[in-house]
């Protein structure tokens, strides 16, 4: 693989040289999309020191599977039971569903499907409307510059392959994350945009705020060599010569510590360890602790640290630092169902890479030789569409009636959630109303259509999948600790399709996908529907099939929502955790409403915006207790633990 994938000029040192008797201005928990982006930006100030605590390793052992786009689908890194997967599961829709999250430097940006999809201006303005008198602007105008700041965009060499006319002003050209189009195009992908046009969907570049319609989406691919551009290569690798940035690997944060001597608890540092029951270390923060542990890890760490619903904390005998009922609540996710079709004349699809090992090896060799336009390995999925409620139902009278019922049912839906806290109810009502307004009055997508050129891997024919994914769910779930052991995963209660409206919208998405499959020119490639199959026609039959086949689109959010405190919020518009000092959250858990987007892009932009917010107004430094820094709990021979952590520390010329 390209040598640039490795961290160059990196010194490996023992924990003693890294953190013993040291304190850092900023400690960031989590080395994923937000954590690494934030670390890179905060460490631009050479007078400020930054430490990142990351639970995973650097990914060198699986680097080829990270960097080659098609291997994302063929040899996944964050699969059940893998060492680079967090092992999150949820029991929903009558079965256990895997929630893949990458336990690796770069987080899920190292393993995801590479989509760089922004939400619409409508949705960002809706987000901002939830925050009256905010000191920060989370509207489209306040957020859009940070999307551009993230991006290093390269337009397709042949625009006819995508069918999308690029809006040059809607893309950044000097950001760290490479964004481009794959140089190989599957036959089905080549027909996607004209098919969307024949359905009456907008096909122009959506990245300037009109995030709806059908198009070929840009992906996080470095056009120079076709490899994945992700948080590590984009944000971390260029910082290799900085003397003020350290990244601890294989080190899981177990608790945020607080100085409670003042009127408001002040975050003072982070405890971390390598394994359950193992040695615990502590590192001190002079200015701020910033949690970027993700939608599942962030609420878990908050709760273990005494921040969350008091009743929950009391049940585990955890001392309450801040009673914040919203921690872990408001969980929402995009829910999808995949439909499958066989293709005529064994049309080329990703199935060929599974069916023929020799062919797959040849294609991988072409990729490594730089023959990207000839290699299926260079192409991820990238056909996408966002369809409004009005277009889904294709009946103005019925759509109006559906919206009226949504509004009328709000109170009962909120009450059915079982919240006993009035602020949680108020927050649910606020976001519910916002979602209804968005779906009722705009072209924003209720459903995402996603073309997968990697189908059902039928061993006779080649196939494709098309997925319908709910974008603005009305169902809400939660993420709650199940143990005081930080190495025991929290309970994820997804509550997928927990409202009648979610069922109806997703069912309409299934019907719309059948319309897509019968629309030219894509229809010219379709042989027959494999799943759910022609026998599934009635609403009940479709619902029964969805119950067995629906699952996550891997876009969870909102477990530490940016909402007013009296609406169950966890962070304010400056990303500060309510009722504390020196503690912020910077990751996708702060997103308060559904977004028609794949959340990598918004998460990068959140981190970029957070960096400017923090630089402009950091928490004043405190005097750290460095005598206790990197202290050990419980007492075990120090030398053995230090040696065990030697390979777990990356220091940039510290």
Positions annotated as catalytic residues are 555, 598
H-only helix segments in 418-568: 422-441, 500-517, 539-549
Nearest Cα to Cα of residue 501 among 476, 521, 474? 474
Q: Residue by residue, what is the 3-state secondary structure of 95-154?
A: EEEEECCECECCHHHHCCCCECCCCCHHHHHHHHHCCCCCCCCCCHHHHHHHHHHHEEEC
Q: Are 585 and 577 in contact (CB under 8 A)?
A: yes
DSSP string, 271-326: EEESSTTS-EEEEEEEEEEEE--HHHHHHHHHHHTTEE-HHHHHHTTPPPSEE-TT
Q: Residues of 206-215 as b/e, b for ≥16 C-beta within 10 angstroms?
A: bbbbbbbbbb
Tally Cβ neighbours within 10 Å of residue 499.
20
**3 state SS of 82:** coil
Alpha helices in 223-281 (DSSP H): 231
- Would you call 523 exposed, middle or buried from its count of C-beta atoms within 10 A (0-12, 13-18, 19+)? middle
- CB 601, CB 118: distance < 8 Å: yes
Can you tell me the distance from the alpha carbon of 355 to that of 359, in angstroms, rounded to the nearest whole number? 9
Residue whose pair of structure tokens reads 């949504």 in the numeric block: 406
Q: What is the CA radius of gyration of the chain?
A: 24
Is 588 annotated in a binding site? The answer is yes
| Tokens linked to 322 | 């801040």
Report the SS3 class of residue 254: strand
Residue 107 and residue 86 in contact, taking contact as beta carbons nearer than 8 Å? no
Q: What is the DSSP letter of 9?
A: S
Identify which of 101, 211, 204 has the alpha carbon closest to the alpha carbon of residue 147: 211
Helices 140-150 and 600-616 meet at what angle, rounded to 10?
100
DSSP one-letter string for 201-223:
---S--TTS---EEEEPPBSB-T
Residue whose pair of structure tokens reads 């419980």 in the numeric block: 634
- Residue 484: CB atoms within 10 Å: 13
Q: Is 134 exposed, middle or buried (0-12, 13-18, 19+ CB in 10 A)?
A: middle
Is the separation of the CB atoms in 25 and 286 below 8 Å? Answer: yes
Task: Tell me how far apart the alpha carbons of residues 335 and 504 are, in angstroms, rounded to a whole number.
Answer: 13
Question: Using omega within 30 degrees of 0 as the cis cutoff, is the peptide bond preceding 91 cis?
Answer: no
Provide the token pair at 245: 């940035």
- Binding residue positions for FAD: 588
- Binding residue positions: 588
């Amino acid at each position: 693989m390209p040598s640039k994938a490795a961290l160059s000029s990196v010194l490996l040192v023992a924990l003693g040289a890294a953190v013993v008797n040291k304190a850092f201005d900023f400690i960031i928990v989590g080395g994923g999309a937000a954590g690494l982006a934030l670390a890179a930006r905060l460490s631009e100030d050479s007078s400020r020191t930054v430490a990142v605590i990351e639970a995973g390793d650097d990914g060198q052992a699986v680097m080829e599977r990270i960097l080659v786009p098609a291997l994302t689908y063929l040899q996944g890194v964050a699969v059940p039971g893998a060492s680079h997967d967090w092992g999150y599961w949820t029991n929903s829709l009558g079965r256990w569903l895997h929630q893949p999250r990458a336990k690796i430097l770069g987080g899920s940006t190292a393993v995801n499907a590479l989509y760089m999809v922004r939400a619409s201006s409508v949705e960002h303005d809706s987000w901002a409307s939830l925050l009256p008198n905010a000191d920060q602007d989370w509207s489209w105008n306040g957020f859009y510059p940070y999307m551009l700041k993230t991006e290093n965009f390269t337009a397709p060499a042949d625009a006819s392959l995508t069918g999308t006319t690029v809006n040059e002003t809607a893309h950044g050209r000097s950001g760290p994350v490479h964004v481009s189009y794959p140089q190989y195009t599957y036959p089905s992908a080549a027909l996607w945009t004209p098919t969307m046009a024949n359905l009456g969907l907008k096909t122009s570049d959506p990245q300037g705020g009109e995030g709806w319609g059908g198009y070929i989406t840009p992906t996080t691919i470095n056009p120079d060599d076709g490899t994945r551009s992700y948080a590590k290569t984009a944000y971390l690798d260029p910082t290799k010569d900085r003397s003020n940035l350290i990244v601890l690997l294989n080190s899981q944060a177990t608790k945020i510590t607080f100085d409670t001597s003042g009127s408001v608890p002040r975050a003072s540092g982070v405890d971390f360890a390598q394994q359950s029951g193992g040695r615990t270390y502590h590192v001190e923060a002079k200015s701020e602790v910033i949690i970027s542990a993700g939608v599942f890890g962030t609420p878990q760490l908050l709760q273990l640290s005494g921040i969350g619903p008091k009743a929950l904390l009391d049940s585990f005998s955890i001392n309450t630092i801040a009673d914040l009922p919203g921690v872990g609540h408001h969980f929402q996710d995009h829910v999808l169902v995949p439909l499958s079709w066989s293709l005529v004349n064994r049309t080329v699809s990703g199935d060929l890479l599974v069916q023929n090992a020799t062919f797959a090896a040849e294609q991988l060799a072409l990729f490594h030789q730089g023959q990207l336009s000839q290699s299926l390995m260079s192409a991820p999925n990238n056909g996408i569409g966002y369809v409004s409620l009005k277009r889904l139902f294709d009946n103005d009278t019925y759509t109006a009636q559906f919206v009226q019922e949504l509004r009328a049912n709000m109170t009962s839906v909120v009450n059915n959630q079982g919240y006993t806290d009035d602020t949680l109810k108020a927050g649910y009502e606020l976001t519910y109303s916002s979602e209804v307004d968005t779906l009722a009055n705009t072209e924003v997508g209720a459903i995402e259509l996603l073309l997968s050129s990697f189908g059902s891997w039928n061993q006779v024919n080649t196939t494709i999948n098309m997925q319908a994914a709910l974008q603005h769910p009305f169902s809400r779930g939660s993420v709650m600790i199940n143990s005081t052991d930080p190495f025991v995963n929290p309970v994820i209660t997804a509550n997928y399709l927990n409202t009648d409206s979610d069922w109806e919208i997703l069912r309409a998405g299934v019907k719309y996908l059948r319309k897509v499959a019968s629309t030219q020119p894509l229809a010219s490639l379709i042989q027959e529907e494999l799943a759910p199959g022609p026998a599934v026609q009635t609403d009940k039959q479709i619902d029964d099939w969805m119950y067995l086949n629906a699952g996550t689109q891997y876009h969870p959010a909102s477990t530490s929502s940016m909402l007013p405190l009296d609406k169950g919020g966890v962070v304010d518009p400056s990303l500060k955790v309510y009722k504390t000092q020196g503690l912020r959250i910077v990751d996708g858990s702060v997103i308060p409403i559904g977004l028609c987007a794949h959340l990598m892009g918004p998460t990068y932009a959140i981190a970029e915006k957070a960096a400017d917010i923090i630089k402009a107004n950091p928490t004043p430094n405190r005097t750290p207790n460095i005598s206790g820094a990197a202290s050990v709990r419980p007492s075990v021979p120090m030398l053995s633990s230090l040696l065990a952590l030697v390979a777990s520390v990356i220091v940039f010329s510290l």
